[in-house]
């Protein structure tokens, strides 16, 4: 159980733009500390679900109404819509209110917001909570989803130091553990640990012959779990982070060729060493997250 | 909860040669029906653990003592030792006793047993229960591990029809659902749904930079889970099923090249269709196993 910090005085009201799995979980996590959470959804039924699931205290279909008086606005939309929503929200918010997001890519979003001009860019602190699921929708949201999870802030060059400090405090209040890096480093590392693995899961799932599906075991099931994710969301991620992902695909392909040579060799000593090194890295990851 | 069939009259006593995760689970599953289960382990402490964990009723370090009077002997060793253990066990068993195994590869084992001569081969019915874990050892065994799981029998040309029928009855008694195919079809299909995915999990785990480990999410964790598996066991599997695995690597590499082209294209429509097709296959697998 994550112990939450004391709620900062400035954080009274948060608006969540897009109350799905992740946005809904952010809302639920904040409500534990008594933050008043307002949701924005495109439809009346979306607003109703958000309230009924306990993700927000109230919800509106009008963006300006949702964002007015918020101390923080969290954009929780697909990555290709984040910059334009930052723009739309900024116009409706108080001058001292901070904007953050949950997008899985960062460089293109940060650049898109920089293009909106310094007045908007200085109050935007880009963020990526490493929490999610192949499931979607507020019905799958959880108030503990962010507890103990890394939240990467990629402020870039733009934001005001005061807003950056608020972003740190805000994300700690969700239960997350804040890490900071440049947008470019984020995109390179996430291409390696998230975007490439996602594509490999889809590749394994899509390549499996239907007649072999009754033979799959727990290994196949776990490896392909994320392939159930939303294709539109992942298309946007690939579009946003194309270069880093292509670079990862090329590195993976080179490693695959080296692995093929190890499997082809009659002498299995090197293959075994390779499997042992991979196991060691995996076991190191398990230990690191304890 | 799987409903077990009534125990066949001929099945009173089973011997498990190698009481690890899978062998131990087979023993536990049979004990639910009142089968008397005898274990073989190489060490006294291995024998003690097998009994203490409830995997077997009694255990011996002497193979002949363990197999004597058994109606079935199950070889649950690494794949590269199965054929020689079949040979050793056959010499100690009653003429009407059946031998089966749990190996993850089949063609080389079936060929190895055929080389032992017709007297041994006719009583061996090769089997592969699609159940397992990255964990090892009898401490992780479970009496429900096989419940509802596919157990593939690959009798090949050798076994006596009476022994084949006993093998079907035996594996159903563990809770498994029996499927039959040729050893070659088994190896080709398992290379696709198990052996290649395992190597891809190891490739992803081994390629991850240590500095990126704090950033991994649940997707990476699930995709690399099996990379914690026993390197010696997987080296033996790769050695046994080399040709089918190389064929799968080549197919995967071709598919990876096609995927790269989709990611590289500015127009994202085809990438989205590709992700949707992969999701459909994954969702089909989830539905098939319900």
Region A228-246: mean pLDDT is 96
- Comparing A69 with B158, which gets the higher pLDDT? A69
Burial category of A8 from C-beta neighbours within 10 Å (exposed 0-12, middle 13-18, buried 19 and up): middle
Q: What is the pLDDT, as a whole number, of residue A134?
A: 80
| Cβ within 8 Å, pair A208-B277 | no
Q: What is the pLDDT, as a whole number, of residue B285?
A: 85
Could you give the dihedral angle defined by the CA atoms of residues B135, B150, B221 and A270, in that order, rounded to the nearest 10 degrees?
60
Q: What ipTM does this complex have? A: 0.91
The minimal CB distance from B192 to the residues A212, A246, A289 is found for A212
CA-only gyration radius of chain A, Å: 21
Please name which of A232, A239, A289 lies closest in space to residue A20, comparing C-alpha atoms.
A232
Find out whether A56 and A66 touch, Cβ atoms under 8 Å.
no
Pick the CATH number of B13-181 from 3.40.50.300, 3.20.20.70, 3.40.190.10, 3.40.50.720: 3.40.50.720
Find out whether B225 and A217 touch, Cβ atoms under 8 Å.
no
| Set of chain B residues whose Cβ sits within 8 Å of the Cβ of A222 | 222-223, 225-226
Q: What is the pLDDT, as a whole number, of residue A289?
A: 59
* Whether the predicted pLDDT of A160 surpasses 60: yes
Mutate to test the interface with A, among B79, B214, B230, B232 (most CBs of A within 10 A): B214
Q: What is the pLDDT, as a whole number, of residue A199?
A: 97
Boundaries of every domain in chain B: 13-181, 186-288
Q: What is the pLDDT of residues B47-85, one digit of tens each?
A: 999 999 999 999 999 999 999 999 999 999 999 999 999
The minimal CB distance from A222 to the residues B217, B223, B278 is found for B223
| Cβ within 8 Å, pair A193-B206 | no
Region A240-249: mean pLDDT is 97
Distance CA B71, CA A21 (A): 54
Q: What is the pLDDT of residues B110-143, one digit of tens each?
A: 999 999 999 999 999 999 999 987 888 999 999 9
| Set of chain B residues whose Cβ sits within 8 Å of the Cβ of A268 | 235, 238-239
How close A125 comes to chain B (CA, Å)? 19
How close B254 comes to chain A (CA, Å)? 10
Distance CA B229, CA A36 (A): 47
Share of chain A above pLDDT 90, in %: 92
Instruction: Tell me the average pLDDT of chain A.
Output: 95
Q: What is the pLDDT of residues A212-223, one digit of tens each?
A: 999 999 999 999
Find out whether B164 and A216 touch, Cβ atoms under 8 Å.
no
* Whether the predicted pLDDT of B290 surpasses 90: no
Mutate to test the interface with A, among B148, B231, B280 (most CBs of A within 10 A): B231
pLDDT interval class at A1 (50, 70, 90): low
Buried b (16+ CB within 10 A) or exposed e, A29-54: bbbbeebbbbbbbeeeebbebbbebe
What is the DSSP secondary-structure string of B160-227?
A: -HHHHHHHHHHHHHTT-EEEE--HHHHHHHHIIIIIHHHHHHHHHHHHS-GGGGGG--HHHHHHTGGG
Region A33-42: mean pLDDT is 97
* Whether the predicted pLDDT of A26 surpasses 70: yes
Domain range A186-288, CATH class: mainly alpha
Region B234-251: mean pLDDT is 97
Q: For residue A285, give the chain B residue with the closest CA.
A: B213
Mutate to test the interface with B, among A215, A246, A262 (most CBs of B within 10 A): A215
How close B67 comes to chain A (CA, Å)? 30
Q: What is the pLDDT of residues A187-216, one digit of tens each?
A: 999 999 999 999 999 999 999 999 999 999
Long-range pairs, B161-168, Cβ under 8 A, ≥24: B163/B98, B163/B122, B163/B123, B163/B124, B163/B125, B164/B125, B166/B8, B166/B10, B166/B11, B166/B72, B166/B98, B166/B125, B167/B98, B167/B100, B167/B125, B167/B127
Please name which of A56, A72, A17 lies closest in space to residue A40, comparing C-alpha atoms.
A17
CB pairs under 8 A between A and B: 275
pLDDT interval class at A287 (50, 70, 90): confident
**Residue A254 contacts by C-beta under 8 Å, 6 or more apart in sequence?**
none
Distance CA B179, CA A48 (A): 48
| Cβ within 8 Å, pair B278-A206 | yes
* Whether the predicted pLDDT of A3 surpasses 60: yes
Instruction: Tell me the average pLDDT of chain B.
Output: 95
Please name which of B268, B248, B26 lies closest in space to residue B127, comparing C-alpha atoms.
B26
């Amino acid at each position: 159980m994550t112990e939450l910090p004391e709620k900062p005085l400035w954080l009274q009201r948060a608006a969540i733009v897009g109350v799905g799995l992740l946005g809904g979980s952010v809302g639920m996590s904040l409500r534990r500390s008594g933050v008043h959470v307002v949701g924005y959804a495109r439809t009346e039924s979306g607003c109703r679900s958000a309230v009924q699931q306990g993700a927000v205290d109230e919800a509106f279909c009008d963006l300006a109404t949702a964002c007015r008086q918020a101390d923080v606005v969290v954009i929780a939309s697909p990555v290709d819509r984040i910059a334009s929503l930052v723009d739309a929200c900024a116009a409706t918010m108080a001058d001292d209110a901070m904007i953050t997001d949950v997008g899985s890519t960062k460089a293109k979003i940060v650049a898109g917001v920089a293009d909106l001009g310094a007045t908007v860019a200085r109050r935007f602190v880009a963020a990526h909570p490493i929490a999610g699921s192949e499931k979607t929708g507020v019905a799958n949201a959880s108030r503990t989803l962010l507890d103990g999870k890394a939240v990467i802030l990629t402020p870039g060059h733009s934001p005001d130091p005061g807003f950056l400090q608020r972003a740190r405090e805000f994300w700690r209040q969700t239960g997350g553990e804040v890490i900071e890096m440049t947008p470019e480093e984020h995109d390179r590392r996430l291409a390696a640990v998230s975007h490439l693995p996602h594509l490999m899961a889809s590749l394994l799932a899509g390549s499996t012959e239907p007649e072999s599906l009754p033979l799959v075991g727990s290994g196949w099931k776990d490896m392909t779990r994320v392939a159930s994710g939303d294709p539109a969301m992942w298309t946007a991620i690939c579009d946003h982070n194309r270069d880093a992902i292509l670079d990862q695909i090329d590195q993976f392909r080179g490693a695959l060729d080296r692995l093929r040579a190890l499997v082809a060799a009659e002498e299995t000593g090197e293959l075994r060493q390779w499997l042992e090194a991979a196991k060691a890295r995996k076991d190191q990851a398990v230990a690191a997250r304890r």
